[in-house]
Structure 1
Amino acid sequence: MTYDEKSAAQALSALGHEVRLQVFRLLVRAGDKGLSVGEIGTHLGVPPSTLAHHLSALVQAGLVVQERQGRIVFNHVDYARMRALLTYVSSQCCAGIVPLIDDEVA
């Protein structure tokens, strides 16, 4: 998975809300197993309906994957996409700026 400007903006926008960032950070720490919606709500003190809204935004951005196991929905970070986003941001945003004018001409 590689990011372009549009998909990176969508992912970063999803992380741009305080609750969604808290959810994402918690899921990163939870590892591959992830956490159920109830566990996330308990850890963060977020009501289920509010949490569902925020999880939906993270899923749509491709940062979180949901898997149903019986009646329980587990959420975990898509680590490959997270790494791709970090790579995109560091390679596109942390590289040097190409001069617009030649120093000798100015």
Structure 2
Amino acid sequence: MASTWLVQIGSTIVRAHQHAAATGRKGGHRPDEPDDHALGRSRGGPATKIHLACDGEARPLAVLVTPGQRHDNVCAQTLLERIRVPYSGPGRPRCRPAQVTADKA
């Protein structure tokens, strides 16, 4: 019987220090701050969200870091596209799991 390749995806929010945003005294957005710094706002203040894809044995396969307000559904496709598991011999890396599990978010 062939085994199926199971991938699990999930995310967590990491709170940033209040001075990490460097937004200035009024709390506004700095125009010279790049959008790819993955520092955004969540309900609790400045935060970063870490999305992780791992296999059935909890080995990480892909990681994506986004601003704290980014929803999980928006990043799920991008996260799955980053999976590349090389074979021990010749051939293309595996990139399409047989099953994907995630929470309701």
Relative to the length of structure 1, the TM-score reads 0.27
Q: Answer 1 or 2: which has greater helix percent.
A: 1
TM-score calculated relative to the size of structure 2: 0.27
Relative to total residues, which structure has the larger strand share, 1 or 2?
A: 2
